[in-house]
Chains A and B, each alone.
Chain A
């Protein structure tokens, strides 16, 4: 007979299990819930709105939007510029990655740092620089080339499709460079040595071994550049729009700015197009290519066999220097110099043309200060909450076998693969009170948008750090008498701390100077630094914008340097 007394009930532990849910489940449920409400639902609603704009199913909106020539040309422009940026980006990134990873190129380390660091630079800085350099009438590089080669007209015009491709390539090839470099570092060097000893020359080895082995990574890198270029807003709005070259992103933002319901519907319809492309790319690169990556872990970590460039060494090194000068150094210097120039039509070093007044302005003008504060605040919040979720998710993913732990991971991956414009637009549509939540015009909506877009960077960092730590380290602590929580605090946390710091900054930085989502989500009280800079650049005063951009560059490089120092070179961006 069953007795209700305590002594006969199974065991205290079993009773516990009955009454309380596993905390792991609660964490997953909370994260999934958050993402469902703020990511999945708005995106689904966006698609729904596109087809049911009038309440019942209709393709009227699609017909209207896609028959309008300006939109049609925006679609074509987006695909064309993204495609060529992808092709050129990979054509630049692969040889660079090979030269830096596998040959005796001069200054390899420096170039590697330089090219990787440009990844963290806001792309619109590139646009600002190149419109100063290659403006068809007063662009300083144009003027310079005209003088040297004695040309009658400026050789380049930045306000063209070609110009747009040029700037997009220059600022999105680092995505491919990083992906390809990492894959190359992971490849067992003896695979290439085996080819050399089999009688293949370095170039033959490159063609028959290195290139085919790297192909999945190269394709993944290409897709990454494609989608980044296709969903870019900063560059096309600064370079494209003045030359009447519209892209899907600039059109979407124009439509939203119209403010009418029809404008919103049209924006939605275009956004759906962008979202579909992004999803296809994400599917291809994550779920099909991911499986084809060859795992080649070397038994013994030998340094890769360095290919001697021989008599080409100096020449090729010079070419890389030239590339770095043109793509990275000159644009940055241009922006920095613009920030201290009174009259942009005159050389900066001419009499009385140098000033620090724009620098003074960015530290004193109220609107700039309040925008900076907004950006700082929302970036800190996004990074902190993002890392909180990242750490919990990383632990669940790496250390537990809880069912459903991959769901939030999948959602976070999808979120980061969705174009910024689409995320922001979907949040506007769904979070303006229509469904009980109204956070439009607040910093909260900004923070949420940032988290959805950039959380994955932090999560990947923590996951990779955690998976390198053997679980036996935690077990050893527990067997020594420490509780699970103490073991976390004493063993695991100190070991992954550098990764957490790095991950935090990886989320913080892009949020700090974010432009695209802020452009859609800002209100009078919640303007951000990126948006402030953009309005100065486009409407008021380019020098002030340049001063802001230079300040951002200094912060980005400073943080990168600091991170490198703090973690002994283990982490930098």
Chain B
């Protein structure tokens, strides 16, 4: 349980720079998620915290100790860290008990004490009755919990999780998400969690660090990341969003294709991109912010997923399910915009397409 400081960390493999100028501070007991698409450098960052990779530049502190810098390097075994690997890495030649007891053995704890500790942690991960099994007799989810128990048993100051849920099926993934969060709360341990799944990031984290192409895009609470994305990449990667090219002037943004307007009192002027999340759009009868024509709608049970033509471009609207019966394709409709973001127009059209 301690804070982590990452200062100006850069990592390159040969000529390929995978992480740039990484600066972050994780508070004691915080649940931090490194979120990004595959190849963004998030796993490399985690492995540098663990000590499996050396930063090319920069320093890493765990607690008061400098674990990595140009002068010092503390090997993984001396960092007092627990880690869960994507492939679980449960040793097949040892029983569940032996696997979990291993970190304690390395600490030269006496046998009676080991037994007690292992029993307690197996209780936490609901594996008490499996202590004498070998890993090949366990399901994927159970192996995953063995890995978690092994990472927690020595009460490390820091727990690292490298996409631990990606090999599990959807149902199990859901329940493990809450279990991991529960355990973290109960133990008050600092956690760094790596994933490319935004749902995992949103549900578990105190703060999320969004990474792309080796650069930090945004650091913030899940709500901040979702509601106030720092740029188009973040807005696009976390959740769904419509991007509309617009011009900002005189307290308004005017859409370039349809000339429709929304009031805007922010700082950006000139060419901008307006981002509207589909669920922040509502159908209303009068006083709409936007006008449009219903192109298509799909009843999905919990929502009504619609495409609406607002004049020259289509946007996606996720409306409440009952709206499905009230509207028909080709019908003119009015939309209320509850919330939207405005981004500088970088000229990058990557994010302009309608989201499906």
- A interface, CB within 8 angstroms of B: 188, 190-191, 193-202, 204, 208-209, 212-213, 215, 294, 296-300, 305
Which residue of A195, A296, A300 is within 8 Å of B92 (Cβ)?
Answer: A296
Contacts of A305 in B (CB 8 A): 52
For residue B103, CB closer than 8 A to chain A, the reply is yes
Output the nearest chain A residue to B52 by Cβ-Cβ distance: A305
For residue B141, CB closer than 8 A to chain A, the reply is no
Q: Measured between C-beta atoms, what is the minimum distance from A495 to chain B in Å?
A: 26
Q: Measured between C-beta atoms, what is the minimum distance from A194 to chain B in Å?
A: 4
| B93 with A199: CB separation less than 8 A | no
Which residues of B (162-203) have their CB < 8 Å from a CB of A? 163, 166-167
Q: Measured between C-beta atoms, what is the minimum distance from A309 to chain B in Å?
A: 13
Contacts of A202 in B (CB 8 A): 75
Q: Measured between C-beta atoms, what is the minimum distance from B76 to chain A in Å?
A: 4
Please tell me which stretch of B83-91, B123-131, B269-277, B300-308 contacts chain A, meaning at least 4 of its Cβ atoms lie within 8 angstroms of it.
B83-91
| B77 with A197: CB separation less than 8 A | yes
Contacts of A298 in B (CB 8 A): 87
| B154 with A199: CB separation less than 8 A | yes
Contacts of B103 in A (CB 8 A): 198-199
Complex A-B: 26 CB contacts under 8 Å: A188-B87, A188-B89, A190-B85, A191-B91, A193-B50, A194-B91, A194-B150, A196-B52, A197-B50, A197-B77, A197-B82, A197-B83, A198-B103, A198-B150, A199-B78, A199-B107, A199-B154, A201-B75, A202-B75, A208-B102, A212-B93, A213-B93, A294-B93, A297-B87, A299-B166, A299-B167
Contacts of A199 in B (CB 8 A): 77-78, 80, 103, 106-107, 154
Output the nearest chain B residue to A212 by Cβ-Cβ distance: B93
In the bound assembly, the distance between CA atoms of A198 and B79 in angstroms comes to: 9
| A194 with B89: CB separation less than 8 A | yes
| A294 with B82: CB separation less than 8 A | no
For residue B210, CB closer than 8 A to chain A, the reply is no
Q: Given A195-B102, A198-B102, A204-B106 in contact, is the A299-B76 Cβ separation under 8 Å?
A: no
For residue B1, CB closer than 8 A to chain A, the reply is no
Q: Given A197-B81, A212-B93 in contact, is the A299-B107 Cβ separation under 8 Å?
A: no
The 7 closest A-B pairs by CB, nearest first: A199-B106, A198-B103, A299-B87, A190-B89, A194-B89, A190-B85, A196-B76
Contacts of A196 in B (CB 8 A): 51-52, 75-77
Contacts of A191 in B (CB 8 A): 89, 91
- B interface, CB within 8 angstroms of A: 50-52, 75-83, 85-87, 89-93, 102-103, 106-107, 147, 150-151, 154, 160, 163, 166-167
Which residue of A204, A209, A297, A300 is within 8 Å of B91 (Cβ)?
Answer: A209
Contacts of B93 in A (CB 8 A): 212-213, 215, 294
Q: Measured between C-beta atoms, what is the minimum distance from A187 to chain B in Å?
A: 10
Which residue of B92, B107, B166 is within 8 Å of A213 (Cβ)?
Answer: B92
Contacts of B89 in A (CB 8 A): 188, 190-191, 193-194
Q: Given A190-B85, A213-B93 in contact, is the A197-B76 Cβ separation under 8 Å?
A: yes
Contacts of B81 in A (CB 8 A): 197
In the bound assembly, the distance between CA atoms of A194 and B89 in angstroms comes to: 6
Contacts of B90 in A (CB 8 A): 194
Contacts of B77 in A (CB 8 A): 196-201, 204
Q: Most chain-B CB neighbours within 10 Å: which of A196, A198, A215?
A: A198
Q: Measured between C-beta atoms, what is the minimum distance from B69 to chain A in Å?
A: 16
Q: Measured between C-beta atoms, what is the minimum distance from B153 to chain A in Å?
A: 9
Output the nearest chain B residue to A195 by Cβ-Cβ distance: B102
Q: Given A212-B93, A213-B91 in contact, is the A194-B86 Cβ separation under 8 Å?
A: no
Contacts of A299 in B (CB 8 A): 86-87, 166-167
Total residue contacts A-B, CB cutoff 8 A: 79
In the bound assembly, the distance between CA atoms of A297 and B87 in angstroms comes to: 8
Contacts of A215 in B (CB 8 A): 93
Which residue of B50, B86, B147 is within 8 Å of A300 (Cβ)?
Answer: B86
Output the nearest chain B residue to A191 by Cβ-Cβ distance: B89
| B150 with A193: CB separation less than 8 A | no
Contacts of A296 in B (CB 8 A): 92
Contacts of B75 in A (CB 8 A): 196, 201-202
Q: Most chain-B CB neighbours within 10 Å: which of A195, A199, A212?
A: A199
| B106 with A200: CB separation less than 8 A | yes
Output the nearest chain B residue to A296 by Cβ-Cβ distance: B92
Contacts of A190 in B (CB 8 A): 85-87, 89
Q: Measured between C-beta atoms, what is the minimum distance from A17 to chain B in Å?
A: 41
Contacts of A193 in B (CB 8 A): 50, 52, 76, 83, 85, 89
In the bound assembly, the distance between CA atoms of A333 and B50 in angstroms comes to: 47
In the bound assembly, the distance between CA atoms of A213 and B151 in angstroms comes to: 20
Q: Given A199-B103, A199-B107, A199-B154 in contact, is the A194-B83 Cβ separation under 8 Å?
A: yes
Q: Given A193-B85, A194-B83 in contact, is the A294-B92 Cβ separation under 8 Å?
A: yes
Q: Measured between C-beta atoms, what is the minimum distance from B134 to chain A in Å?
A: 10
Q: Most chain-A CB neighbours within 10 Å: which of B90, B106, B160?
A: B106
Contacts of A195 in B (CB 8 A): 91, 102
Output the nearest chain B residue to A204 by Cβ-Cβ distance: B106
In the bound assembly, the distance between CA atoms of A204 and B150 in angstroms comes to: 17
Contacts of A208 in B (CB 8 A): 102
Q: Measured between C-beta atoms, what is the minimum distance from B297 to chain A in Å?
A: 35
Contacts of A200 in B (CB 8 A): 77, 102, 106
Besides A193-B83, A197-B160, 11 other A-B contacts (C-beta < 8 A): A190-B86, A191-B89, A194-B83, A195-B102, A197-B51, A197-B83, A198-B106, A198-B150, A198-B154, A199-B154, A209-B91
Output the nearest chain B residue to A211 by Cβ-Cβ distance: B93
Contacts of A204 in B (CB 8 A): 77, 106
Output the nearest chain A residue to B93 by Cβ-Cβ distance: A212
In the bound assembly, the distance between CA atoms of A201 and B160 in angstroms comes to: 19
Contacts of A209 in B (CB 8 A): 91
Contacts of B151 in A (CB 8 A): 197
Q: Measured between C-beta atoms, what is the minimum distance from B73 to chain A in Å?
A: 9
Q: Measured between C-beta atoms, what is the minimum distance from A190 to chain B in Å?
A: 4
Q: Measured between C-beta atoms, what is the minimum distance from B165 to chain A in Å?
A: 12
In the bound assembly, the distance between CA atoms of A297 and B92 in angstroms comes to: 12
In the bound assembly, the distance between CA atoms of A70 and B336 in angstroms comes to: 103
Q: Most chain-A CB neighbours within 10 Å: which of B82, B83, B166?
A: B83
Contacts of A294 in B (CB 8 A): 92-93
Contacts of B76 in A (CB 8 A): 193, 196-197
Q: Measured between C-beta atoms, what is the minimum distance from A231 to chain B in Å?
A: 32
Q: Measured between C-beta atoms, what is the minimum distance from B159 to chain A in Å?
A: 10
Contacts of B147 in A (CB 8 A): 194
Q: Measured between C-beta atoms, what is the minimum distance from A297 to chain B in Å?
A: 8
Contacts of B102 in A (CB 8 A): 195, 198, 200, 208
Output the nearest chain B residue to A300 by Cβ-Cβ distance: B86
In the bound assembly, the distance between CA atoms of A204 and B81 in angstroms comes to: 17
Q: Measured between C-beta atoms, what is the minimum distance from B245 to chain A in Å?
A: 38
Contacts of B51 in A (CB 8 A): 196-197
Q: Measured between C-beta atoms, what is the minimum distance from A166 to chain B in Å?
A: 34
In the bound assembly, the distance between CA atoms of A3 and B92 in angstroms comes to: 65
In the bound assembly, the distance between CA atoms of A364 and B91 in angstroms comes to: 61
Q: Most chain-A CB neighbours within 10 Å: which of B82, B85, B163?
A: B85
In the bound assembly, the distance between CA atoms of A305 and B76 in angstroms comes to: 11
